[in-house]
Structure 1
């Protein structure tokens, strides 16, 4: 057990909300909660260490004269492969234009055309040009900087740089606060509610576009608090991570293909020839096509040569800079690419207000399973989802009764050490294409470590969920079960995960 030696910040107000994470989901929620007092807990100073700042594509919103939210919602449902909640898709798509206006009001510097209208890009599986961007391919960074400025100017928000270690329960089983650690000292933060905005789990894989801290800690904390997790097997692999040996892998945004880039093999043959949607097919389709080509020992490249290469520096400055750092000239050389873990569609099961199954706990952004993404996220819907749920969560917390008093005692789990073996296991056994033997091997490898390591616990939950889904749907492809069964969600609690893991690994195996 741990007892705090001291509190490294001023005492908390009785009605304070704790928001864990300082990406777009966390900061948007904190801003929407005003004037309620909020403590944003972040492992790094504002503006650093979040996946938001790395988002290149943009924010999907039906802003064009030829577009409407209903079309955006239909595209979202089509990408979700039968598991998107139509009501959620419609509500989020309808909110999109207003959310863009909110960001503009905060000073977001979105790109505009010569007439002053928002410049709209096209990405895979969208039927219209509806990707609102900033700085060409620097949208995430521009939006994050906008929200950081707004949060810094908001008197109801305070920022605590510390590591979130665990959720605190009250006597009724609800969440009543957070255990943090800073400078080797663990201490509790009592709260009327806790909002997890901790991002995804891509860094559990050896090949990922995510920050190194994206190991699913929020998911593990929620599971240990008794929350229901949903559709944890659905991990999206971005098809065009730049394959130059970096970890994390730099990303070549999907918008490049929207502007004419094509996928080719080392002989120059088109990778997506004969596949519905071609180079603008949904991400899971493109990722599997590249995976299959690479499994035959052939490299895959993104060909931006020609007119697109000539304007790369202006239209896609982030990608141009990444290529330059790797010694690649996109005007003259195709860019080597491969699939890499990029986004997690599963997460903490939440309702239309972002509330989890445990009282006092909310989730926003990638850590949540809101019903929007289903089995495969539509490009540029991630920032949109976080922005759309932030005001819903804020309103629900303001209307709810505060949590009860913190129950004692509380304890923390040790930090994970070297994750190399875990990442290799997830990459090999729980990757783009899966099968029963590999998944059982992953469960056997992960189960012992999962009892004391949050990263391994999150990986185990993904593996047992993938093992239980004996079909292929969206981003989850089973080579031994290529068919699609009637649509269903996978929902598990931690107690069920342990039972599933024990059943998957025979005693003595």
Structure 2
């Protein structure tokens, strides 16, 4: 097992006698699909606090476009969905986890309908579409290409009316609180109240991904790897941190923020062409545009190198206009804002960091290696995605593990008697701190995201990775020696730690597997793949 030492246990100094204390039965960190589903699964007689870094409706889940995969067509089969997931996962999937999750998918999707989510219909039934890596059309979608937005609307509407659940918005989780090896809650901060200790009988980590470690990303600004970092500092085992999935098609317009162009655009028949209007995917894979994401992303990167052009293009012009209007209203509106018409124009795209496959190691119920701490969703490594997540399995994972974590944490919390006594915790800060040199946080963050894209991106090698490790270590040494007092500062410290874990894991995996491709080890080690586990010494 790899071991990388965090600079310190807690990001900030604290005195428990000078900070307000709150008490909950179950504390849920994160308000994406996993966190909200977890909250709904807790016994309403218990007190639940959901901490949301920003607004409750701002999460990677809400930004999901494509849909949720599940066997809902009589011509499809659970075994097909499982086989597709395992094939995409390139030897790192846990077959028992895959079987359990895909078997639960149809009921989880129907449950969302019962909660009020309005999925798109066709001939009186759920409309299903094909996406890359799937052998059947099994992806249910809503509002055409805004599934996450609609699903989260329904879930958040439901949670706001649930007895016993409080949602704390714009509240940042600084660190998990641990005592005698177990998680006892979290230290949080918001602008109105400052720091607060939230003591909890059970804590569920649902903090999402880390795409913002890269300049080119589909993720919202909140996806800075906070959950990965706080769990690691608290002693949890993490796994496969080198596995960042890059989405092949991110709208590329210089100077603008990056926007996802859903997988379904290719699933419905869109073509990828290069700067010379050449449809190139057949040169790389027999499945053309419907190959798994890792293959398409590498193919696009190679074609960009061949043509010496900063992007390739998605061509939807040959598709029926009614189909484009119905399936891709969000993409159509987005492109119009940049003067692009899907009926006439090619869409400039290139890969971007999209989904963090690596994360906190959890079992089938969502338990981590730290007693009292559960985790669900993108912050975890569950064994479902293996080394390459199959399209539209992410919302499914969040629902499945959110439900199981909520039930498990609820049952565990109900067995613990109420206690309103704070624990005698101490932060590990020395009395003398370096002078604050007015760090330029934005400059450091931009330098980090650029470095990660160059050296820890779609194609990697030992020289680039070791150079990245040295540079990030240097930045981390002087940034983490300071007690920063803003969300931006804590985010940067979390990003630097998470980057260290990703780079160290990428160096350790001396093979190419799934989304992890190394030029110096271009082949996959035969046989079942092995996980790269990492834990603080």
Output the TM-score relative to the length of structure 1: 0.92
> Among residues 502, 505, 510, which one is paired with 1:462 in the alignment?
502
**Inter-partner Cα distance in structure 2 for 1:261 and 1:226:** 46
Tell me the CA shift for residue 194 of structure 1: 1.2
Partners of 1:355 and 1:362 within 8 A in 2: yes
Q: What residue number does 1:385 align with?
A: 397
Aligned to 2:457: 431
Is 2:292 aligned against 1:282? yes
- C-alpha distance in 2, partners of 1:187/1:38? 16
Residue number in structure 1 paired with 2:23:
12
Separation (CA, whole Å) in 1 of partners of 2:51 and 2:100: 29
Which of 270, 273, 280 pairs up with 2:282? 273
Q: Give the number of aligned pairs.
A: 488
CA contact (8 A) 1:236 1:341 kept: yes
What SS does the aligned partner of 1:26 have?
helix
Q: Of the candidates 92, 95, 103, which is equivalent to residue 83 of structure 1?
A: 92
Q: Deviation at 1:156?
A: 1.7
Counterpart in 1 of 2:472?
Answer: 446
Deviates more, 1:337-346 or 1:153-162: 153-162
In structure 2, how many angstroms separate the alpha carbons of the residues matched to 1:307 and 1:465?
42
**Do 2:184 and 2:372's aligned partners in 1 also have CA atoms closer than 8 Å?**
yes
CA distance in 2, matches of 1:204, 1:402: 39
Given the alignment of the two structures, is residue 476 of structure 1 paired with residue 509 of structure 2, yes or no? Answer: no
Which residue of 314, 327, 330 maps to 1:318?
A: 330
Whether the aligned pair in 2 keeps the contact of 1:260 and 1:308 (CA below 8 Å) is no
The counterpart of 2:66, out of the listed 22, 47, 57, is: 57
Per-residue deviation, residues 242-293 of structure 1 (Å, max 9, x unmatched): 1013564111101011111000012111120232211100000000000011
1:14-36 CA deviation, whole Å, 9 max, x = no partner?
xx111011111110111111323
1:12 is displaced (CA, Å) by 2.6
Q: Larger relative contact order (C-alpha < 8 A, sep ≥ 6)? A: 2
State the distance in 2 between where 1:282 and 1:291 align: 15
TM-score of the two chains, using structure 2 as the length reference: 0.88
Tell me the residue number matched to 1:134. 142
Match of 2:162 in 1: 154
Contact 2:211 2:224 in 1 (8 A): yes
Using the alignment, how far apart are the partners of 2:211 and 2:108 within structure 1?
Answer: 27
Q: Which stretches in structure 2 are left out of the alignment for 5+ residues? A: 1-12, 481-492
In the other structure, the counterpart of 2:151 is 143
Q: Which residue of 1 aligns with 2:76?
A: 67
* Secondary structure class of the residue paired with 2:281: coil
Q: Secondary structure at the match of 2:276?
A: coil
1:28-47 aligned within 5 A: 28-35=37-44, 36-47=46-57
**Residue 248 to residue 88, structure 1, CA distance change in 2 (3 Å):** farther
CA distance in 2, matches of 1:308, 1:215: 39
* Contact 2:204–2:409 (CA under 8 A) maintained in structure 1: no
Equivalent residue, structure 1, for 2:107: 98
Match of 1:503 in 2: none
Query: What per-residue deviation string (whole Å, max 9, x for no partner) do you get for residues 295-331 of structure 1?
Result: 2313310001133455423221111111111211111
- Using the alignment, how far apart are the partners of 2:247 and 2:476 within structure 1? 27
1:207 offset after TM fit, Å? 0.5
Residue deviations 1:404-430 (CA, integer Å, cap 9, x gap): 963412479999922101101100000
Matches within 5 A, 1:158-177: 158-161=166-169, 162-170=171-179, 172-177=180-185
* Contact 2:270–2:319 (Cα < 8 Å) also in 1: no
CA contact (8 A) 2:81 2:134 kept: yes
Structure 1 residues without counterparts, runs of 5 or longer = 496-509
DSSP 3-state at the match of 2:260: coil
Equivalent residues of 2:356, 2:378 under 8 A apart: yes
Query: Are residues 283 and 481 of structure 1, via their aligned partners in 2, closer, same or farther at CA, if it must alter by over 3 Å?
Result: same
2:142, 2:246 → 1: CA distance? 24
- Tell me the SS of whatever aligns to 1:12: strand
Note the alpha carbon deviations across 1:10-61, whole angstroms, 9 max, x for none: x434xx111011111110111111323210001222212x111110000000
Residue 215 of structure 2 is aligned to residue 206 of structure 1 = yes
Q: Secondary structure at the match of 1:434?
A: coil
Q: Is the 8 A contact 1:252 1:319 kept in 2?
A: yes
Distance in 1 (alpha carbons) for counterparts of 2:347 and 2:168:
40
Contact 1:261 1:308 in 2 (8 A): no
Q: 1:399 aligns with which of 411, 416, 439?
A: 411
Q: 1:250 to 1:309 in 2, by over 3 A?
A: farther
> Shift of the alpha carbon at 1:436?
0.4
Which whole-Å CA distance do the structure 2 matches of 1:359 and 1:308 have between them? 54
